[in-house]
Homo-oligomer: A and B are copies of this chain.
């Protein structure tokens, strides 16, 4: 598999490190991603991580024709000022910086959530909350499309 799927929760050790799930590391290797770009999610209390092309994509939103694009100056402030490059240590771990902790409220555990072409870092509790909210909202409004448990 060459996409980030599923989720896994790992502990933060005494030094503030946490192992990136092996499954995700495999995807990173397959995509030949050496350096990780990290930025806060604009909607959820989570940190988005992915390859450098992730930054490219955000930058395209700045200059792009997206009608919902934010103010350019404001957007740049978030993307360029709020993003950071990180890399894993020899065992595939990364440091939980204050930058990450601030936006996520992560304390002693991290839930890694696959998002297809990138993945996210969540506090386990908040992830479960938001996941449930999303589920509720889908069942409330989405009865038409593929609702009722039918998938086809």
- Which A residues fall within an 8 A CB radius of B? 1, 3-7, 35, 41-44, 46, 48, 50, 54-55, 57-59, 61, 64, 66, 68-70, 73-78, 80-85, 99, 113-118, 120, 127, 130-131, 134-135, 137-139, 141-142, 145-149, 151-152
Contacts and interface: CB of A to CB of B under 8 A. Distances in A.
17 contacts: A4-B80, A5-B83, A5-B85, A43-B139, A43-B148, A44-B149, A54-B151, A57-B151, A59-B116, A68-B141, A70-B137, A70-B141, A74-B137, A75-B134, A77-B115, A80-B115, A81-B120
A76 B151 contact: no
Number of copies: 2
A76 B35 CA distance: 24
Contacts of A74: 134, 137-138
